[in-house]
Amino acid sequence: MCSISEVVFIMSILSNSLKALAIILGLILSAGSTLIALDAQNLAKSGVKIVNQNSETLADEVVLTVEIEIDNTGYFFDIYGVNITLLIMDNNDNIYDKDTEVIEHIPVGGSETATLSLSIPIDVAQEWQNGNIDLFAKLYFIFWFGKYDYRLIKFGIVGVSELRGG
Amino acid sequence: MDKLSTTKTFLNTIITFVSLVIAPVYGIAYIESLGIYVPYFDQNTIIILGSIVTALTLLSGITKKGAGATMTFIKYLASAYYSYRAMNMFTRFVLSTPETYGELIIDWGLWLALVIATTLVSGLLASLGKLAEEEKKKEKKK
Average pLDDT, chain A: 85
**pLDDT given for residue B121 in this prediction:** 86
* Domain region containing A85: 41-163
For residue B60, report the phi and psi dihedrals to the nearest 5 degrees.
-70, -25
Which residue in chain B is spatially nearest to A24 when comparing CA positions?
Answer: B122
Tally of CB atoms within 10 A around A70: 21
In sequence order, what are the residues at sequence separation of 6 or more whose Cβ sits closer than 8 angstroms to the Cβ of residue B140?
Answer: A4, A8
Chain A residue numbers with beta carbons less than 8 Å from the beta carbon of B101 are 158-160
Q: What is the mean pLDDT of residues B34-49?
A: 92
Whether A27 is in a domain gets the answer no
In sequence order, what are the residues at sequence separation of 6 or more whose Cβ sits closer than 8 angstroms to the Cβ of residue A23?
Answer: none
Q: What is the mean pLDDT of residues A153-159?
A: 88
Regarding beta strands A111-121 and A61-71, do their DSSP bridges make them parallel or antiparallel, or are they unpaired? antiparallel
Which residue in chain A is spatially nearest to B109 when comparing CA positions?
Answer: A153
Chain A residue numbers with beta carbons less than 8 Å from the beta carbon of B105 are 142, 154-158
**pLDDT given for residue A148 in this prediction:** 92
Q: What is the mean pLDDT of residues A87-112?
A: 91
**Residue to test with chain A: of B36, B73, B110, most A Cβ within 10 A:** B110
A to B CB pairs, distance under 8 Å: 99
User: How far apart are the CA of B65 and the nearest CA of chain A, in angstroms?
Assistant: 13
Looking at the whole model, is its pTM more than 0.80?
A: no
Question: What's the CATH code of the domain at A95?
Answer: 2.60.40.10
pLDDT tens track for B62-97: 887 788 888 989 999 999 999 999 999 999 889 887
Q: Do A18 and B114 touch (CB under 8 A)?
A: no
pLDDT band at A37 (very low <50, low <70, confident <90, very high): confident
**ipTM value > 0.85:** no
**B110, B118, B140 ranked by CB distance to A29: nearest:** B118
Enumerate the domain spans of chain B: 3-84+93-141
Burial B85-106, CB ≥16 within 10 A → b, else e: ebeebbbbbeeeeeeebbbbeb
**pLDDT given for residue A1 in this prediction:** 57
Whether the per-residue pLDDT at B57 is higher than 80: the answer is yes
Q: What is the mean pLDDT of residues A136-142?
A: 89
Whether A5 is in a domain gets the answer no
For residue A2, report the phi and psi dihedrals to the nearest 5 degrees.
-80, 145
pLDDT tens track for B106-135: 888 888 888 888 888 888 888 888 777 777
**pLDDT given for residue A165 in this prediction:** 58
**pLDDT given for residue A99 in this prediction:** 93
**B109, B114, B133 ranked by CB distance to A15: nearest:** B133
Whether the per-residue pLDDT at A83 is higher than 90: the answer is yes
Q: Do A155 and B111 touch (CB under 8 A)?
A: no
pLDDT band at A26 (very low <50, low <70, confident <90, very high): confident
- Please give the distance of CA B128 from its chain centroid, rounded to a whole number: 20
Whether the per-residue pLDDT at A4 is higher than 70: the answer is no
H/E stretch holding A7: helix A4-46
**pLDDT given for residue A55 in this prediction:** 84
**pLDDT given for residue B96 in this prediction:** 82
Average pLDDT, chain B: 87
**pLDDT given for residue A166 in this prediction:** 47
Could you give the number of structural domains in chain A? 1
pLDDT tens track for B5-25: 888 889 999 999 999 999 999
A158: exposed, middle or buried (C-beta count within 10 Å: 0-12, 13-18, 19+)?
middle
**A22, A29, A151 ranked by CB distance to B109: nearest:** A151
Whether the per-residue pLDDT at A126 is higher than 90: the answer is no
Q: What is the mean pLDDT of residues B35-44?
A: 91
